[in-house]
Chain A
Amino acid sequence: MTHAAYHITEETLLSYAAGMLAEAPAVAVAAHLPGCARCRSAVAALEIVGGTLLDEIAPAPMSSNALSLVLARL
């Protein structure tokens, strides 16, 4: 396991995993992750939270031709 000299704060990891972090700090987090198992695992856990929220959300109906548009582009 690699030990980084510093860690990203929990608040920043959360914003990063949520896709809500501004560009410059997101670049800093992306540069930190390959060398830090701890922060990488935390982001992985938070991405599971994102997947769970996707499962839980009340669906918003797609337009009636959405499926045929997508199938035509497969």
Chain B
Amino acid sequence: MTFPAIPITNASPNEMSALLVAIAIQHDKQMFVRLFVYYAPRVKAYLMRQGVDAAGAEELAQEAMLIVWRRCETFDPEKASASTWIYTIVRNLRIDALRKQRRPMFDAGDPALAPTPPLRPDEFLLGEQRERRVREALAQLPAEQATVVRLSFFEDKPHGEIAAALSLPLGTVKSRLRLAMRRLAPQLGETE
């Protein structure tokens, strides 16, 4: 079977979401290969950026892609893009892996392992609109705010250490984060 040679590394999030929906309907392994080629190396890079060693990141990336295949029917493009959905799978997988390392007899019913409860239909924008709004807000953040947000995702460090790494006072890091959060999640600024 052949597929049009789309430039996979530049694929838009929407293309990948459509591909994931198609995989859920058709269970097509060739389509899954395209998804794998796009996401697996990104998942590996992401985990390495978070301090997982290359072998561990490779293994977790393979594991994540298996979960993507097995759970693809639960993907709802109205709620999130494929990238966001896969991000949450990878995040939870890494948390599980760290926990099993520390404590082999972990409790699978632990609420910390539960997925984030879904938004109710009435309480927020449709997934695609929300996705676009957040991505635009992130792209428009002043560089200094974007830097502290990125560091918060990648570094397993308290904000005090991020402040030290950037040679900034802790208060400055915290206020940049707060400003960034209110652009990314405007409802945070509303109810206080």
Contact B45 A58 (CB under 8 A): yes
Mask of A47-70 contacts with B, CB within 8 angstroms, 1/0:
111111111011111110011011
Say yes or no: A30-B87 contact (C-beta < 8 A), given A38-B187, A51-B13. no
- The complex places the Cα of A43 from the Cα of B124 at a distance, in Å, of 12
Q: How many A-B residue pairs have CB under 8 A?
A: 174
Cβ of B147 under 8 Å from chain A: no
Q: B84 contacts A74, CB within 8 Å?
A: no
Q: Is the CB of B41 within 8 A of A50?
A: no
Known: A10-B178, A33-B116, A63-B58. A42 touches B40 (CB 8 A): no
Per-position 1/0 for B36-54, Cβ under 8 A of A: 1101111111101100001
**In the complex, the 3 A-B pairs of residues with the closest C-beta atoms, listed nearest first:** A51-B84, A59-B41, A51-B83
List the interface of chain B (C-beta within 8 A of A). Answer: 9, 13, 29, 32-33, 36-37, 39-46, 48-49, 54, 57-58, 61-62, 65-66, 69, 80-81, 83-88, 90-92, 94-95, 99, 110-112, 114, 116-117, 119-120, 123-124, 130-131, 134-135, 138, 149-150, 152-156, 159, 174, 177-178, 181-182, 184-185, 187-188, 190-192
29 CB < 8 A contacts A-B: A14-B177, A14-B181, A15-B152, A19-B91, A20-B156, A27-B112, A37-B120, A40-B123, A41-B185, A41-B187, A42-B185, A45-B130, A45-B184, A48-B130, A48-B134, A49-B153, A50-B88, A51-B13, A51-B80, A52-B134, A53-B154, A55-B13, A57-B42, A57-B45, A59-B41, A59-B42, A67-B37, A70-B66, A71-B33
